[in-house]
Structure 1
């Protein structure tokens, strides 16, 4: 039986047996998994715990209830906009600006935790994925959705600029022009359109079908050498922000430190003996 743990606004399950797959679910179904201050606080803590668990090799991110994520809860907007201290009007404005910058940086770090997690994170999206939900999934490593999923970079309709990662990460997934159009209009787009643009890897008819397919994929990744999987994610993310020459230098340094491992010997032996499922050590 898979281990289950409750965080406020989150549910963590797994890994079950030797699968290596853990499930992290946004769990505010009555609020359509809107992101409040507590959830922003819980997310990086839960991810850090999963990252540190040697039995976890892949994390699947899902949403409970009818929708994946309705964006940032209005209560969180109110908390960010409030406060600022006393003093004159100019002094008060400066204090509010400093507080807002600190608050935004803290919220950004909650989603950056997905990238900083050594293990791959796969987002499985159904229903609505709006605003902050886009910020979150673009920080994940792979994304899949149902055909009834809908997406919206909604911040422009709230008179703000998306500031938790969408404008930085989405162009690298779907291109500058597509991002510009979606961010300026705030329009809703479908799962099939998300796939055609490259935001998601595949679209499924139902949530059950999607979760089954994602679980199969996650188990396939989890069966690989943890060192190789961690290295592949780290090098791809690092190379995203480097020139080709710099990326080649980085991977050379990485493999110089990591290549001589028991996993390499195990993989070679498995190939030589035509062994279908080699057993790799935990991180």
Structure 2
């Protein structure tokens, strides 16, 4: 019986930071179909357990990831069959499942930070776009390679980029398939900061993660829920949602801990983790 492919390692720290690191540098950290459900299940398991306060996704080697492995598109895989009405219907269902694997990042109750070195290409940009914040090294670049192999990007990046970049810039990425360098990515708001090298990148992102992990996980989850809802809905609908959300998470004891820690500059406010999600 063949062993499953190992695409990444996962470290869960005592301070609530989880660090998922892509670890196939010899293959430019490319993604085969097996990668997607593994990532989805890992993120959802972290979310359901309730102990994780922030997730960092980083990589190894020269490039963050070259995206979907090109051999995925070769051969007679049922995943790619669109030769009949029935197969096209199945194709749609399969594609929705793949999309859901990156949506798990967006839907997690904790923030997800992405640390990019080298190339972030094709499906890797779909992954990065689903994260809350992105950081990169000075030599990093981003590319929607799909247009260069005759297909439209289809795992969420076209839908998410328009909320991260001006319309014209997002369309330039989608239509041209050219490299989008670190400096321009920072200028246009695709990344939060550019660091000189991989070591500095990881140190910076883990430092940001530590600051997030030190805050109330309840308030952090509520903030992410509110931001995501406002991104996808109008102001009036989002304000209505906020009134319901705040009534659900407003906790004066939690606030008391936060205020005391802020006043005393305490390193650990003693916040309880989120409750685990019940298994069904």
User: TM-score, normalization: structure 1?
Assistant: 0.89
Is 1:114 aligned with 2:110? no
Which residue among 20, 24, 43 is the counterpart of 1:24? 20
Q: 1:7 to 1:251 in 2, by over 3 A?
A: farther
Alignment of 1:228-239 (within 5 A): 228-239=219-230
Residue 54 of structure 1: how far off its partner (Å):
3.4
Helix, strand or coil at the partner of 2:106: helix
Helix, strand or coil at the partner of 1:37: coil
Is 1:9 aligned with 2:24? no
Is 1:51 aligned with 2:42? no
Q: 1:237 to 1:82 in 2, by over 3 A?
A: closer
**Residues 21, 218 of structure 1: 8 Å contact kept:** yes
**Residues 80, 91 of structure 2: 8 Å contact kept:** no
Is 1:178 aligned with 2:169? yes
Is 1:147 aligned with 2:145? no
Instruction: Output one character per residue of 1:90-146: Cα deviation in whole Å (capped at 9) or x when no partner.
Output: xx4213312321221111011101001111100000011001011110000000000
Is 1:219 aligned with 2:210? yes
Alignment of 1:76-225 (within 5 A): 76-78=72-74, 79=77, 82-83=80-81, 92-225=83-216
Corresponding residue pairs, total: 268
Residue 174 of structure 1: how far off its partner (Å):
0.7
Q: 1:81 to 1:49 in 2, by over 3 A?
A: closer
Segments of structure 2 that go 5 or more residues without pairing to the other structure are 275-280
Residue 209 of structure 1: how far off its partner (Å):
0.3
More contact order relative to length (CA 8 Å, sep ≥ 6): 2
Segments of structure 1 that go 5 or more residues without pairing to the other structure are 1-5, 85-91
Distance 2:190 2:123 in 1: 15
Distance 2:18 2:98 in 1: 23
**Residues 117, 137 of structure 2: 8 Å contact kept:** yes
Q: 1:129 to 1:270 in 2, by over 3 A?
A: closer
**Residues 124, 145 of structure 1: 8 Å contact kept:** yes
Q: Which moved more, 1:67-76 or 1:210-219?
A: 67-76
User: TM-score, normalization: structure 2?
Assistant: 0.90
Helix, strand or coil at the partner of 2:66: coil
Helix, strand or coil at the partner of 2:68: coil
Helix, strand or coil at the partner of 2:45: helix
**Residues 18, 55 of structure 2: 8 Å contact kept:** yes
Distance 1:30 1:66 in 2: 9
Helix, strand or coil at the partner of 2:20: strand
Distance 1:111 1:261 in 2: 34
**Residues 10, 39 of structure 1: 8 Å contact kept:** no
Residue 261 of structure 1: how far off its partner (Å):
4.9
Distance 2:148 2:81 in 1: 24
Query: Who is 1:257 aligned against?
Result: 248
Residue 280 of structure 1: how far off its partner (Å):
1.0
Helix, strand or coil at the partner of 2:71: helix
Distance 1:236 1:254 in 2: 12
